Structure 1
Amino acid sequence: MTTDIRDIPEAHVDRALDLAHLAFHATAGDATRKRQRELLLKCERVGAYDHEEIVGFAAAHRLGLSVPGGELPVAELDFVSVAPTHRRRGVLTAMMGELLGRCAAGHRPLACLWASEEAIYGRFGFGPATETYAVEINTTRPLALRVTPDPRPLRLIAPADTFTVLAPLYETGRARRGGRLSRDEAWWRRAARTDDEAGDDAKDGPPRVVVLGAKDAPAAGYVVYRVGEKGTVTVDELEAADAPAAAALWSYLASIDLTRKVQAWTVAPDDPLLHFAADRAQVRVTGQWPAMWLRLVDVERALTARSWAAPVDLVLDVRDATLPANAGCFRLTAGPSGAAYGPTGDPADLTLDVRDLSACYLGGVLVRRLVQAGLVEEHTPGAARLLDAALETEHLPLAGEGT
């Protein structure tokens, strides 16, 4: 089947949204649709047209992504959908090829997405680069901890103040962990909507924001949460400077009156809570899954822009069926002082697909585990372990919700 891939003009945005809701079996109320439309008007929109009917749709938000040692431009893909009448006809392949090509031409070395169907995106070079845990705390008894919580005072702030107070703390947290998207003031305003403003988007009551630290002193962390009718505290986001600060915030959540449990859906696998909780029967991991899927669009720029924990000098044979400029044998020479990456005629130490290189890029996936899984071929014994040591980060990457 031949489809026409072209930009979706503003006049067609509502039609594109109708397709996305159809593909995802979603019903959107007025508040949700208004929010989605506002987002789409600010981002790149690609459609697959069968004559004048939109049969495929994908959007790309222009953002920044924290990577080890800094930040890089990223295209966050969203609303990726194909009409049920046009599946398995190459529509998605055509749209993804167009979007990734535009990313490369527009000097965006990374692309990311949250996959509704994880089996789809590997063939386009995306790999699961971050892992997230769901955690549940039984709060019918006091939270038992092995560390002393930070003694600084806790204070509630108005949702309208979240940008001023929380954004600097969030940026500090981004510098510690890879995989976190940039946020502008509009993002914080959307996150702080009251029930009246959120309409059908409201869940579990209005957001409550608690900050650790006196008003006239630097804050050590914050938590955004909601309390549901059945006594469940749902954590939207918790940011803490260190373990005592985290302990203070988790202790607060566990002590809220008339509640029975705390649940958090985006917890890093190395979150200190999982270590300083004195009773792991009280603090349980209830789920684990890949969160953000990452794609290196420009492998050279991505590898030379991040920091490296240890020296490494290896030849990588990279496979990339969608973006051939990335494919071939390249020598990676990197270390704490910087990195260089360029084509070479030397034999490869490792052969790997770009999806697997993308999965390992933020330091959350070990190359040697992929060798053991038969996904990466190690030609030089120990090469995977050397690359792992160079890719290592102090904190595991973490990705919360997308735009």
Structure 2
Amino acid sequence: MDIRDVPEAHLDRALELAYLVFHEKPDEEKRKHHRELMRPCERIGAYDGDTLAGFVAAHPFTLSVPGGELPCPGLTFVSVAPTHRRRGVLSAMIAELFRRATAQGRPLAALWASEDAIYGRFGFAPATQGLSVEIDSRRPLALRVDPDERPLRLVDPADAPAVVGPYFDATRAVRAGRIARDAERWRGEWLPEDAEEDAELSPPRIVALGDPGGPLAGYAVYRTKGGNDDTGTPGVVRVDELEADDAAGAAALWRYIASIDLTGTVRAWGRPVDDPLLLFAADRDQVRVTGLHPGLWVRLIDVRAALTARAWAAGADLVLEVRDPHLAANAGRFRLTATARGCAYEPTGDAPDLTLDVRELSACYLGGTRVRHLVRAGLVDEHTAGAADRLDAALRTDPAPHTADEF
């Protein structure tokens, strides 16, 4: 295989390969959208002569991490021709992406996994989780808190980058795992007119909470689908995003969502695991968690750069023995000295307190996975009693890391 850049002239070939692998047959409008999506991406191909046998695209994302943000390639359209499987094509493309990211100072990479079993072997791990929630809205939503009574208003999706964009940006400062959105991403990826997953869903609706002329106290993005009188199926509201300053603001938005006329079910995919709705809902038979699933997968490409760039919730002085079969610079024993002012991470010959694979360290990096749980699962070796708890305390983030931005 010849691993090299995929030029714009080969974009259609790359997309045809992806459609082949993912069993898709998009219409021309969707193909045009995918071409535009791929143009700003870094594109790595595996060529067998003139045949494009493998393809990986990487969005030039910026990801929020505890205390800041870092450049983070977002892998997408990862595909290998069925005629070239089990020949090291994907391994070669991932190795090239790691090489480039290291050279360009991008210490993280991220993706949404189509198949979990594939990406763990390259050091990726789920760093966020999402809940699926369903509300029976055939009756008023029962709440244990008083909703914020400030007015609600509908926002034109075309105005979303200017009106609700700054509010979303503020959430990135306090919640790790969120991808920066420019106006193009808001309009093209987050608020497309047509819902790719369900043609019967309405265009996106945006409701904002707050006094006219004043700052927003929250917003929600949702779509609706009418019911079926013949089968008695109620109309559905699908919530794509809901953010609020506090519980009262969230209660106001959920009450609005659950009271939309001619609907009887609210479904929300990808809610954060610490969503306050699950605590202030008065009837958990009315508000049910229907699923828990991995969210954003993260891979530490430069462990030292990633660890020293994030904030720490507590002090820790630990020796970590890290295994990384793909990136030798990450492997070895390192002393992590974390304080509220930052951390140092330097090679050492001292005995390790914890031994772990870079995959496990990647899972814990945003604070969404506990080291203690990985010790219990047999995936991390604790050599010094209490070491896992000390690292957990230092890595802790509140609120929990979360994103619903698929790519």
Same fold (TM > 0.5): yes
Equivalent residue, structure 2, for 1:348 = 352
Q: Tell me how far apart the structure 2 counterparts of residues 221 and 199 of structure 1 sit (CA, whole Å).
A: 26
> Which residue of the other structure, out of 269, 273, 277, is the alignment partner of 1:269?
273
> Unaligned 5+ residue runs, structure 1?
none
**1:35-85 CA distance string (max 9 Å, x none):** 111111111000011111111000011111011111111010010011111
Q: Tell me how far apart the structure 1 counterparts of residues 127 and 39 of structure 2 sit (CA, whole Å).
A: 28
Equivalent residue, structure 1, for 2:399 = 395
Equivalent residue, structure 1, for 2:246 = 242
Give the aligned CA root-mean-square deviation in angstroms. 1.2
SS in 2 for 1:262: strand
Cα 1:200/1:319, change in 2 over 3 Å: closer
Equivalent residue, structure 1, for 2:318 = 314
Contact 1:210 / 1:224 at 8 angstroms: preserved in 2? yes
Q: Tell me how far apart the structure 2 counterparts of residues 71 and 28 of structure 1 sit (CA, whole Å).
A: 35
Q: Tell me how far apart the structure 2 counterparts of residues 144 and 247 of structure 1 sit (CA, whole Å).
A: 10
> Which residue of the other structure, out of 219, 223, 242, is the alignment partner of 1:222?
219
Deviates more, 1:101-110 or 1:23-32: 23-32
Equivalent residue, structure 2, for 1:295 = 299
Contact 1:114 / 1:291 at 8 angstroms: preserved in 2? yes
Contact 1:30 / 1:200 at 8 angstroms: preserved in 2? no
* Equivalent AA in structure 1 for residue 255 of structure 2: S
Cα 1:336/1:203, change in 2 over 3 Å: farther
Taking structure 2 as the reference length, what is the TM-score of the superposition? 0.96
* Equivalent AA in structure 2 for residue 18 of structure 1: E
**1:110-147 CA distance string (max 9 Å, x none):** 00000000011111110110010000000001000111
Q: Tell me how far apart the structure 2 counterparts of residues 247 and 160 of structure 1 sit (CA, whole Å).
A: 26
Equivalent residue, structure 2, for 1:39 = 37
Equivalent residue, structure 2, for 1:23 = 21
Contact 2:226 / 2:262 at 8 angstroms: preserved in 1? no
Equivalent residue, structure 1, for 2:63 = 65
**1:269-290 CA distance string (max 9 Å, x none):** 1100011000001000111110
Q: Tell me how far apart the structure 2 counterparts of residues 201 and 111 of structure 1 sit (CA, whole Å).
A: 30
Cα 1:346/1:43, change in 2 over 3 Å: same
* Equivalent AA in structure 1 for residue 114 of structure 2: S
Contact 1:155 / 1:214 at 8 angstroms: preserved in 2? no
Cα 1:203/1:310, change in 2 over 3 Å: farther
Equivalent residue, structure 1, for 2:136 = 138
Equivalent residue, structure 1, for 2:76 = 78
Q: Tell me how far apart the structure 1 counterparts of residues 311 and 106 of structure 2 sit (CA, whole Å).
A: 18
* Equivalent AA in structure 2 for residue 392 of structure 1: R
Q: Tell me how far apart the structure 2 counterparts of residues 80 and 122 of structure 1 sit (CA, whole Å).
A: 15
Do residues 208 (structure 1) and 205 (structure 2) align?
yes
Q: CA deviation at 1:401?
A: 2.2
> Unaligned 5+ residue runs, structure 2?
228-234
Equivalent residue, structure 1, for 2:231 = none
Equivalent residue, structure 2, for 1:357 = 361
Contact 1:31 / 1:201 at 8 angstroms: preserved in 2? no
Match runs of 1:194-205 below 5 Å? 194-195=193-194, 204-205=201-202
SS in 2 for 1:351: strand
Q: CA deviation at 1:214?
A: 2.4
Match runs of 1:151-170 below 5 Å? 151-170=149-168
Q: Taking every aligned residue pair, what percent have the same amino acid on both sides? A: 62
* Equivalent AA in structure 1 for residue 191 of structure 2: A
Q: CA deviation at 1:200?
A: 9.2
SS in 2 for 1:144: coil
Contact 1:111 / 1:297 at 8 angstroms: preserved in 2? yes
SS in 2 for 1:205: coil
